[in-house]
Structure 1
């Protein structure tokens, strides 16, 4: 017969609770859905998933070109998810012309051409302009090189001398 010696009990501390990502509120989710649905309608995309994909790409491209107070205001005016996409971008080292911007988006979308990228960019930015309103759209456009207004669904007026 084997006799075992009782072992002292060792208290193993419970693991520290880990921070859980905050769940999206119904309002946040509805705002994001409304924005991507507006993009889906503007771009005539067959699915919301496709519209959401294009929205994320265009917003990430835009996020590097809007800086300072306008970037903060833009991120705050958008649904939280879209604001995060804008705010998480590293500022661009040089401003892109509207054409260069469209071309840069074309490189991020598989199978895209400059013509389809222009459609995608215009679909997202016109829906964005509708969502954030004229005053903020004007402030954002003032930060960007000339040529972006049409991408936001606005006429670009030149001052006459």
Structure 2
């Protein structure tokens, strides 16, 4: 009696943001969009910006954002204590600069835009719109969107 080995067929599916593979992909997207020289620098920037964002997104949007992100990114968002007051977009960038050794407002704005601009394809435009609705004017540009908020 002979035995025949049947090759095992595995199907690969496209990784989803909430998969464990999503974190390296997010960091690589940030590295490419921000033109960071190393993955390590892109990861540091991603961690800093997501931690800062985690203090400013609240309620259902915070929960939905954490669910849509890779587990590592979700932990960064969810582990933050919500801020008691919302920062303007410029103050948010300054906060990120204060968390980043050697950063200036200009480099922090680049960092913030590189990370937040990577989120819409992962989390969806609807969620980004909901997040922007709870943040002060000016954040849309950081997410790579035109800021079409009417002025009073």
**TM-score interval for Structure 1 and Structure 2 normalised by the shorter chain:** 0.7 to 0.9
Q: Normalized against structure 2, the TM-score is what?
A: 0.85
After superposition, the C-alpha distances for 1:31-62 in whole angstroms (9 at most, x for unaligned) are 10111111001100011111111000000000
Once the two structures are TM-superposed, the CA of residue 159 in structure 1 deviates from its matched residue by 3.6
Match status 1:47 vs 2:33: no
Match status 1:111 vs 2:102: yes
Q: Normalized against structure 1, the TM-score is what?
A: 0.81
The within-5 A match list for 1:10-159 is 28-159=19-150
Higher Cα radius of gyration = 1
Does structure 1 retain, via aligned residues, the 8 Å contact 2:61–2:131?
Answer: yes
Once the two structures are TM-superposed, the CA of residue 117 in structure 1 deviates from its matched residue by 0.2
Q: Which runs of 5+ in 1 are unaligned?
A: 1-26
After superposition, the C-alpha distances for 1:9-50 in whole angstroms (9 at most, x for unaligned) are xxxxxxxxxxxxxxxxxx833110111111001100011111
> Aligned equivalents of 1:113 and 1:130: distance in 2?
28
4+ long deviations beyond 2 Å: 158-161
SS of the residue corresponding to residue 28 of structure 1 reads: coil
